Amino acid sequence: MAIRDRLSGNEAVAHALKQIGPDVMAAFPITPSTEIPQYFSAYASNGEVDTEFVAVESEHSALSACVGVAASGGRAVTATSSCGLALMWEMLYVASSMRLPIVLAVVNRALTGPININNDHSDSMGARDSGWIQLYAENNQEVYDNTIMAYRIGEHPDVKLPVMACQDGFITSHGIENIELLESDKVTSFIGTFNPDVRLLNPKHPVSMGPYSNASYYMEWKCQQAYAMKQAKQVILDISKEYANISGREYGLFEEYKMEDAERAIVIIGSSAGTAKATVDSLREKGEKVGLIKIRVFRPFPMDELAKALGHVKAVAVMDKAESFSACGGPLFAETRSACYGIPNAPKMINYVYGLGGRDVHVGCIAHVYSDLEKIIKTGDIGETYRHLSVRE
């Protein structure tokens, strides 16, 4: 029997971690992720979870500690946001290259500067090529579910990669929603034990981790990481099906919302998908053939699957809550446009960068995007491909 509760996204992460029981959490506070280690450290100090909580002096140290734990064969977790993730930069690449299935709860927040504590995706999108799997949540239920599945995904023998479980700062992290929790014994059974075949604390199988690698070996090393990321796509789908068996909630690489006969579509990530769905519902009531695709898994990117889902659409707007400063669009746009390049009669595609630094996006904003797509279909003229939404002149 599922347990119904009202939790914020940060509380949902902490509760999931309490049920999982990692060996070590190393963390340094930064808004808006601070509550995750705050809640979890209380569980540890109260004896509700057998986890060593390590209060470190920086986010770089937090991930460094997690690297040491995971390399030694333990389950490790940390949480961060914004500039905290930026301070981890060096260790992000170390963790992924060492094939350590660390879980990082990212509470997405704009990067400095100027200083801003509100939500956008510039922090995790900036780390998109660091070799980490990236899962994104629309709501608090998905935050909870993604946290649990992250361990199984990262620890799978065909993957062995670290995982970022991302949620939108303040919007889900501090917003309270009704969610369904699993019984702890089900989570324990689903997660299982972590017994890596290679670890530092195994005298019968001595290994060197993080060695110097020159030109003779470096490329093969990176190819192995790339292959593991390719493997992760099917693993994510398989584990989602397993999770559906115990939760009743099945997740794919992305969610298609009213896409069956859609002529206009939006591709979006995170909590803004909820606003976009409300817009779709409103426009559908008026007889307009609109839909959306919400990306859940950004790394590995679901290129072939997304191309198939968009193959029948006439016009698409890709919504980026991060600016890549490429002068031609945001990161999600670049990936989506590339995925659709080989489609016969590919949809006309534009990009909107929106919501930076917490700029509000409401139903009217999304309706404006659909209206622009309608004009493109009628005139055949894409106009400016790279656009910004709701910017003061």
Number of structural domains in the chain = 2
CATH number of the domain residue 312 falls in: 3.40.50.920
339, 241: one domain: no
CATH number of the domain residue 78 falls in: 3.40.50.970
The answer to whether residue 227 is domain-embedded is yes
60, 117: one domain: yes
The answer to whether residue 22 is domain-embedded is yes
- Decide which of 247, 278, 308 is a domain's last residue: 247
The answer to whether residue 175 is domain-embedded is yes
pLDDT value for 210: 86
127, 223: one domain: yes
The answer to whether residue 169 is domain-embedded is yes
- Decide which of 193, 222, 247 is a domain's last residue: 247
Q: What is the pTM of this model?
A: 0.98
344, 300: one domain: yes
Reduced 3-state DSSP string for the chain: CCEEEEEEHHHHHHHHHHHHCCCEEEECCCCCCCHHHHHHHHHHHCCCCCCEEEECCCHHHHHHHHHHHHHCCCCEEEEECHHHHHHCHHHHHHHHHCCCCCEEEEEECCCCCCCCCCCCCHHHHHCCCCCCEEEECCCHHHHHHHHHHHHHHHHCCCCCCCEEEEEECCCCCCCEEEEEECCHHHHHHHHCCCCCCCCCCCCCCCCCCCCCCCCCCHHHHHHHHHHHHHHHHHHHHHHHHHHHHHHCCCCCCEEEECCCCCCEEEEEECCHHHHHHHHHHHHHHCCCCEEEEEECEEECCCHHHHHHHHCCCCEEEEEECCCCCCCCCCHHHHHHHHHHCCCCCCCEEEEEECCHHHCCCCHHHHHHHHHHHHHHHHHCCCCCCEEECCCCC
317, 281: one domain: yes
168, 287: one domain: no
240, 274: one domain: no
- Decide which of 224, 247, 270 is a domain's last residue: 247
153: containing domain:
3-247
pLDDT in tens, the chain (393 residues): 689 999 999 999 999 999 999 999 999 999 999 999 999 999 999 999 999 999 999 999 999 999 999 999 999 999 999 999 999 999 999 999 999 999 999 999 999 999 999 999 999 999 999 999 999 999 999 999 999 999 999 999 999 999 999 999 999 999 999 999 999 999 999 999 999 989 998 888 999 888 899 999 999 999 999 999 999 999 999 999 999 999 999 999 999 999 999 999 999 999 999 999 999 999 999 999 999 999 999 999 999 999 999 999 999 999 999 999 999 999 999 999 999 998 999 999 999 999 999 999 999 999 999 999 999 999 999 999 999 999 997
